[in-house]
Structure 1
C-alpha cells in the first residue's frame, strides 16, 4: 500500500493507455476501455489521466481538491480572456467554494420536484404535437423532428415565458450554447454569442421586473422568492441562472433523448416492454443514460498536489472521469454491456455528475425524458433505424447527429394522451 508522500506521479506511472482519437464516439472506445479496465482503474487517455472505475469516478466527482476549470470549453476554442470568458467563469458551473454553496442553497429552494411536476401537461402537449407532425408519414429523423425542438418550450414554460416568445429562446440558446462546446466549431463567432446572450439577458431583466410586481407559480418567481439565511438572489444572479438553466436543460435533453430512442429502437424487446408497461419509464431513462449517455467525459483539474487512487496528481493536472466507462464497470453492473430497462438494485448512474456540481436539473431532465419515451413508445410501433446514425465525439456533449427511423404510427387519441 502506498504511504502518504510516496505515491507515484500518475503521469509517469506504468498505467494502461487509451489510444482513441478525439473524434471518436463513446461506443467507438468500448473495446479500448475494456482492455484498460482489465488492468487498472486509471488509464492515460489522449488528454490526460482517465478514471475508469465506478467507485473512483464517484469519489473524484465528490472530491473538492479537483475542480472544473472556469471557461474550459472556451479555452478549447482558444479563448482564455475577454467578456465572454468572464461571463462563463462567473456562471454557476464556473463558481466554487462559498459563492457556489450560497447559490446552490438558494436555487435548491426553488428547483423542487413540485416546481417541475407542474410541467406534465406541457411536456405531453409538446411531445404529442411533434409526433403528430410525423405520424402519418411513418418515418422521421428523431434528431431533427423530435429531439431538437422538444426541450426549449418546456424550459420556457418552466421559467414562465409566453409561448409566442419561445422561438426567440430557441435562437438564443442555439447561439450561446456554442460557448459550451468542447469541440472547435467552424461557426463560432464570439461577437454573435455575446450579442445573443445580451438579448437573452435583456429579456430576462424584463421578466424579473414584471415578476417583482406580480409573482406567479413559475420557476423565475420561485427563484425571486427563494431565501436562505436572510439572503436573496440579485438581478445579476437571476440572469446568470436563467441562462445556465436554458443551456443545461436544452442541449443535454436533445442529445440524450436521441441517444435513448436509438438504443431502445435497437432493442425492440425493450421498446415493447416500455410500451406495455409505462411504469418502467424512469428505469428506461436511467438505463439508457447508463448504456448510451450523452455526457461521457467529465473534466477536472487538481487545485493542489493531490494523492488520489494511489497516485500523485500534480497541481494543474487535468483528470477526466470517464463516466461512460464507469457506468459500464463490470465490477458494479452484472453483464454491464447488456441494455435492460428492468435492472434493479444498481447504484445511481454518474451521468448527472456528482458532488458539489451534481446536476440541479436532474429531476426535471429525468421527467422530460421519461414522459417523452412514454409518448413515443405508445404512439410509434415497431420502430427501426433505416440509415446511419453517427455520433458526435465523446468529449463534450455527444449523441447521434441524425437518427432516421420508420415505424407504424398511432393517432393521438385524447388531448393529453
Structure 2
C-alpha cells in the first residue's frame, strides 16, 4: 500500500516552497496535513479550483484555529472571501464595477509618479529597507488613492492593515487581540469615510460603491463597511508582501533583473512569473460541499483541500523544459496566486497594475541591487513575505 506524504503546515518553521514539498510532489499528487489534504500538482490543483463540488474553505479558518465567536470571527464570516452562492454572487456583482481594468489602467501615471517619488527618497543613499521605505508606503498610498483617503493618513491605515493581515497567519489565535483591535480601528475609520462620501460625493471607489448602495438589491451599510475594511487590509498586505517577494526572486536572478530594466514592458510578465514561483498566498483553500471522489481520493462533505500555490506553479510535469524563473516565457499556464473559479481575486487588476509599474522602475534605478543581509521574514506558509528586507546598490548621482 502506497504511503501518502505528510506535510506539517501548522509548523511555523515549515517552508511550503521547500525541497520536502517537491519530493512529496514527485511521490504523490497530494499530501496529508493538519489542515486537510494538500494538492501538489498543477492538473489536480487547477481542477479543484474550478470544481463546483468545492466552495471557498476560508470560512472554516477561525474554527480550525479554535476561534468560534467574537467580532473578528463574525466579520470574517461576512467577507466576500467566506460567502458562497447567491450572497457571494450578489456582492461580487455590486463590487465589480469599481475594479474594472480600464479604470485601473488609467491610474498607471499616478502609480509611476508615486514609485519614483519613493525611490527618490533613498536613491542617493545606495541602501534601502525595502519594506518600510518602498513596499509598504507604495501599497498603502495606492490604497488611499483608490479609496479617496488623505495621503498623509497612510501610516495609520497601514498599521491597522498590517495587524489585520495576521488573520491569514498560522498564529492567528495568538494574534487575535491585535487583530480585533485593528478591526475595530479600521472599521471605525472606514465608517466615517462612508458617512462623509454620502454627504460629499467624490470621484473615488467609496463613492462608486455608495451609488451601488442606493440601487435595488444593493449593498447595505454593514456590507459596504465589511467590504471596504477587507479591501483595505487585503489590498495593502498582499501587495506589500508580493513586492518584497518579487525583489527577493529577481535579485536571485541578476540576469532577469537586468532584462527587466532594459525592457520595462516585461513588467506584467515579471509579476506573473514571480507569483508563480514565490507567491505571498502560499495555499488556496477549498471545502467539499458533498462527498467527492477526487482523482481516487475520497474527500467527505466538509473535507478541506489546500492547493499549494508554489508546488502547483512549479510542477515540472506542466511547466515543460523550463520550469525555472524566466520573465521572457510567454505561455506559462495560469498560476493560482489570485485563487481561481468564482472566488478569483476581485482586485487582481489593481495588484497586477501597481506591481507591473513598480518593478521595472526599481530595476532601472537600482541596477546592481543585492540583499544587504538576510532580513526578517514571515513563515513561508499561510500568507508570507518580508518584515524587513535591506537592499544595497550603487547610489544615484
**TM-score above 0.5:** yes
Q: 1:380 to 1:70 in 2, by over 3 A?
A: closer
Corresponding position: 1:206 with 2:192? yes
Change (3 A) 1:227 1:246: closer
Distance 1:95 1:336, change over 3 A: farther
Gaps of 5+ in 1: 1-12, 412-417
Can you give the 5+ residue segments of structure 2 that lack an aligned partner in the other structure? Answer: none
Which of 309, 314, 320 is the equivalent residue of 1:328? 314
Secondary structure of the residue that 2:391 maps to in structure 1? Answer: strand
Inter-CA distance 283–79: structure 2 relative to 1 (3 Å threshold): same
Find the aligned partners of 1:173 and 1:33 in 2 and give their Cα distance: 31
- C-alpha spacing 1:202/1:108, structure 2 compared with 1 (3 Å): same
Q: Secondary structure at the match of 1:300?
A: strand
Among residues 27, 38, 41, which one is paired with 2:29 in the alignment?
A: 41
1:343 paired with 2:333, answer no
Question: 1:214: how far off?
Answer: 4.0
CA distance in 2, matches of 1:346, 1:228: 42
Q: How many Å apart are 1:369 and its aligned residue? A: 0.9
Q: Is 1:137 matched with 2:117?
A: no
Selected match of 2:107 from 113, 116, 119: 119
What SS class does the counterpart of residue 186 from structure 2 fall into?
helix
Task: Label 1:227 to 1:77 Cα distance change in 2 as closer, same or farther (>3 A).
Answer: closer
Residue in 1 aligned with 2:287? Answer: 301
**Structure 1 residue 169: Cα displacement:** 1.4
Is it true that 1:60 corresponds to 2:48 in the alignment? yes
Query: SS state of the match for residue 307, structure 1?
Result: strand
- Aligned to 1:381, the other structure's residue is in SS state coil
1:337 Cα deviation (Å)? 4.1
Instruction: Kindly state the Cα deviation for residue 42 of structure 1 after the two structures are TM-superposed.
Output: 1.9
TM norm structure 1: 0.87
The answer (yes or no) to whether the contact 1:157–1:163 under 8 Å persists in 2 is: yes
The farther-off stretch of 61-70 and 143-152 is 61-70
- Aligned pair partner of 1:80 in 65, 68, 91: 68
Render the CA deviation track for 1:6-64: whole Å, top value 9, x for unaligned. Answer: xxxxxxx835304456222343x2x2233233333222245432111112111111223
Higher share in helix: 2
- What does 1:248-259 align with in structure 2 at a 5 Å threshold? 248-259=234-245
1:227 shift after superposition: 7.7
Residue 189 to residue 56, structure 1, CA distance change in 2 (3 Å) = closer
Deviations 1:210-236 (A, max 9, x none): 323443321112212338994222111
Q: Distance in 1 between matches of 2:298 and 2:59?
A: 25
| TM-score normalised by length of structure 2 | 0.91
Name the CA shift for 1:112/1:88 in 2 (closer, same or farther; >3 Å): same
C-alpha distance in structure 1 between counterparts of 2:130 and 2:193, whole Å:
33
Q: Distance in 1 between matches of 2:157 and 2:24?
A: 43
SS across alignment from 1:394: coil
Q: Partners of 1:185 and 1:132 in 2: how far apart?
A: 40
Aligned with residue 183 of structure 1, among 164, 171, 177: 171
- Structure 1's 184 and 76: CA in aligned 2 closer, same or farther, altered over 3 A? farther
Identify if the C-alpha distance between structure 1 residues 389 and 195 changes in structure 2 by more than 3 Å, giving closer, same or farther.
Answer: closer
Pairwise CA distance, 1:390? 5.6
Give matches, 1:270-285, under 5 Å.
270-285=256-271
Question: What SS does structure 1 have at the residue aligned with 2:318?
Answer: coil
Q: How does 1:1-400 map to 2 (within 5 A)?
A: 14-19=2-7, 22=11, 23-27=13-17, 29=18, 31-75=19-63, 77-184=65-172, 188-190=175-177, 192-226=178-212, 230-389=216-375, 391-400=377-386
